Amino acid sequence: MRIVFIAAECAPFAKTGGLGDVVGALPQYLRALGHSVMVVVPRYASIDAARYHLRWAHGPMGVWMGDREEWCAVHVADSHGVPVYFIEHEGYFNRWGLYHDAHFNDYADNPRRFGFLTRAGLQLCKDLNFAPDVVHVHDWHTALGAAYLKIWHWNDPILGGAASLLTIHNIAYQGKYPADHLPYLGLQWGNFTPDKFEDNGALNLLKGGIVYADVVNTVSPSYALETRTPFGGHGLAPYLNAKGEDYFGILNGVDYNTWNPQTDALIPARYSAEDLSGKAICKRELQRRLDLVVSADTPVIGVVSRFVEQKGLHLLAQCIEGIVQHMRVQFAILGSGDKGLERYFGTLPARYSGRIGCYVGYNEELAHWIEAGSDFFLMPSLFEPCGLNQMYSLKYGTLPIVRATGGLNDTVQQYDEATGEGTGFKFDEPSAHAIYYTVGWAVSTYYDRPHHMQRLIRTAMAQDFSWERSAEQYVQAYQRAIHKKRAG
């Protein structure tokens, strides 16, 4: 099969969260299954061209938008055998932020930036003579691709046969913008109806993508069910339900080439389930790095997260001080985003010296250190389409403490205090109380049932969420989309 991914992020080149991890990894595993895959992403200013050996590939390339032609250049880099193409457009992508400025304000021209990216990705297929069987688009940013194939390219010798798969990584972000972007995006006003792109007078790019895509999936089975309900669907449940069996969940995988304590070159020492001595070194070094009291027998709770409402960190803010006042624990926190949360968590180390460490910002290496050096990993998400960090944690023998929602529920098995079975600690209620008491449960397990801790860690490290299985499920989804397209 020939597959083109068009996306806003692709690790290691450009990433703000799990979308980047998925788009960075899945194509490699599809390639290993014998498929021909290319990836198209923007060339953001933050991409280090020298480090990744970007080279000029094509251009100038003309891209027809609805009311004008845009021009761009295309560069390419190799990612483990997968060509990743970078669309260079000075006005749209030569900015440091992917989606917003330094103050976290969304760029007002985001629909144009990503609409253009999507069109450019399709144009590139034509210019490279790469006739895809499937165009795989991700989130609202490139959801338009599914519509473009049907509205603009149905008759095209290169693109006319392509089916579309839309993956929803997060339904809370829908790409809702004023309708005056419609002409630029090349969507005739006939598309501005409630059954397509119109949403209470605005343009909803994800909604239109859902309607037009041959097949739609999300990133865990539980989240697929949750998004079919009024609460979880953020307004789009009826459109997902209308897809019937053409909407389902495929659990994300983990790229164990990047996230594996036995081989991780970023952490202070490597370790395995058979020999955890390296984990003790990682813990000591983490405590040093974040100015925590160096203590082998005080449990460290790690947090690595975008600071956004979804992640439930405002609930943690309500109980973290009670936790450190009443329990002998430490926190290692890494994240950025909401300015209020940045200020709150950023000032905790000064108030709870040696007990709470926090780095406000984005730091790939520190994320690995926290995975390796912590005893527990906390994710109190209000909702979580999949979540990757809890799966990384399992591999690093760092027991997840999670709210039982979406992918967190699908990947963490509840600890059974009677038998010692399970891989982590789960709670249901989205509240500070539930976080407080579940952290307490984990901490008491650490101190009072060390034999269970050992068993939990062993079971956690043996979990296998490798991409191979998920990649096969994606191949089935592609086949379904192709079948659908041919039948239609």
362 binds ligand ADP (CB under 6 A): yes
Helix/strand/coil for 29 = helix
- Judge contact between 111 and 175, C-beta under 8 A: yes
79 binds ligand ADP (CB under 6 A): no
Which of the residues 162 through 181 are near ligand GLC (CB under 6 A)?
169-170
In DSSP terms, 216 is beta-bridged to: 166, 247
Candidates 6, 19, 159, 165; binder of ligand GLC (CB under 6 A) is 19
Q: Which is nearer to ligand GLC, 249 or 302 (CB)?
A: 249
Q: Given the rule CB under 6 A, which of 74-82, 357-365, 386-394, 437-445 is the region that contacts ligand GLC?
A: 386-394
Q: Given the rule CB under 6 A, which of 156-164, 286-294, 385-393, 443-451 is the region that contacts ligand GLC?
A: 385-393
Q: Count the alpha carbons within 13 Å of 133 in the hemisphere toward its beta carbon.
A: 16
363 binds ligand ADP (CB under 6 A): yes
Q: Which residue's Cβ has the minimum distance to ligand GLC?
A: 18
CA distance 192 to 194: 7
Candidates 134, 304, 401, 435; binder of ligand ADP (CB under 6 A) is 304
Residue 197 phi/psi, 5° resolution? Answer: -95, -10
- Judge contact between 215 and 481, C-beta under 8 A: yes
Contact residues for 232 (Cβ-Cβ < 8 A; gap 6+): 171, 223, 225, 226, 383
From the list ligand GLC, ligand ADP, none, partner contacted by residue 305 (C-beta under 5 to 8 A by kind): ligand ADP
Which of the residues 208 through 237 are near ligand GLC (CB under 6 A)?
219
Candidates 90, 195, 275, 364; binder of ligand ADP (CB under 6 A) is 364
Which two tokens mark 103? 């103050």
The distance of closest approach from Cβ of residue 305 to ligand ADP in the complex, given in angstroms and rounded to an integer, is: 6
3-state secondary structure 212-256: HCCEEEECCHHHHHHCCCCCCCCCCHHHHHHCHHHEEECCCCECC
Burial of 68 (0-12, 13-18, 19+ CB in 10 A): exposed
22 binds ligand GLC (CB under 6 A): yes
Q: Which residue's Cβ has the minimum distance to ligand ADP?
A: 18
From the list ligand GLC, ligand ADP, none, partner contacted by residue 364 (C-beta under 5 to 8 A by kind): ligand ADP
384 binds ligand GLC (CB under 6 A): yes
2 DSSP assignment? E
Which of the residues 338 through 357 are near ligand ADP (CB under 6 A)?
none
CA 128 from centroid of its chain's CA atoms: 29
234 binds ligand ADP (CB under 6 A): no
- Judge contact between 126 and 38, C-beta under 8 A: no
Which of the residues 366 through 405 are near ligand ADP (CB under 6 A)?
367, 386-389
Q: Given the rule CB under 6 A, which of 16-24, 264-272, 325-333, 396-404 is the region that contacts ligand GLC?
A: 16-24
Residue 430 phi/psi, 5° resolution? Answer: -80, 80
- Binding residues for ligand GLC, per CB under 6 A? 17-19, 22, 169-170, 219, 252, 384-388, 407
- Binding residues for ligand ADP, per CB under 6 A? 17-19, 21, 304-306, 334-336, 362-364, 367, 386-389
